[in-house]
Amino acid sequence: MSTLISEGKTKKLYTTNDENIIKVAYTNHATALNGKRKEDIDQKGTLNNRISSLIFAYLAKNGIKTCFIEQLSETEQLNKKLTMIPLEVIIRNLASGSFQKKFGTDYLAELKQPVQEFCLKSDELDDPFMNNDQILALDIVTEDQIEELRQTAFKINTLLKELFIKANILLVDFKIEFGFDADGNIVLGDEISPDSCRLVDKDTKQSLDKDVFRKNLGDIIEGYQTVLARLEAEIN
């Protein structure tokens, strides 16, 4: 028996026979502006499921604790059930999005070092930026856990940059989410896909991610297909 636990903007979570394991189904829903703009895009669920499965397996192989267990079908995977930490952990390698806007830099300006940011995961509040004191004041995680999230995110960044550069793709920035497993370990959850990363072709600087949808630049699927094909060629 498998029953729906919850439905987010892009994924549905279902129970399995094991209370510590969930089935995650990737939908074709695409949202921008924290859910205010919505569309269905054929093949997006399949592509993100395959890309995220491949990336999580790669990270696990390289020592990162992740929720990923196995890909079940074109649109579904089995994950460890986590108690999610309501933070978006962001890493930036090149200037784009809110960072570019806030500091008035050029698009894709080089940064002297990677930047790590936290945002509160809240659609109603538009995912507001949080500093460490604000996280501690609202009792979201402890100081040691903030440091663990930060260091793990940098480690993931190093591994992802290495992987993507082999695929001739620049990892501009990305958002990840963590949670606690049944043993209280901090584990990487959610997904890593072109929905949650900014990826550009190293040579042409063409966007291969959800920016194409955010900025209404046309068909997003071609970019997602390119990402999957290049990663498959590198990983397999």
Residues that bind ligand ATP (CB under 6 A): 8-11, 13, 22, 67, 79-82, 84, 123, 177, 179, 189-190
Dihedrals φ, ψ of 42, to 5°?
Answer: -55, 135
How far is CA 122 from each of CA 29, 34, 175, 189, 225, rounded to the nearest angstrom? 18, 9, 14, 17, 30
Output the smallest distance, CB 4 to ligand ATP, in A.
11
Q: Quote the CA–CA distance of 77 and 190 in Å, as a whole number.
A: 11
**13 versus 120: smaller Cβ distance to ligand ATP:** 13
Please say whether the beta carbons of 95 and 108 come within 8 A. yes
51: phi > 0 → left, psi -120 to 50 → alpha, else beta; which?
A: alpha
Output the smallest distance, CB 133 to ligand ATP, in A.
24
Output the smallest distance, CB 123 to ligand ATP, in A.
5
**15 versus 105: smaller Cβ distance to ligand ATP:** 15
**27 versus 93: smaller Cβ distance to ligand ATP:** 27
**76 versus 230: smaller Cβ distance to ligand ATP:** 76
Output the smallest distance, CB 37 to ligand ATP, in A.
14
Output the smallest distance, CB 229 to ligand ATP, in A.
24
Residue 172 neighbours by CB under 8 Å, 6+ apart: 92, 93, 94, 96, 108, 197, 198, 199, 200
**98 versus 206: smaller Cβ distance to ligand ATP:** 98
**58 versus 230: smaller Cβ distance to ligand ATP:** 58
Closest residue to ligand ATP, based on beta-carbon distance: 8
Output the smallest distance, CB 52 to ligand ATP, in A.
10
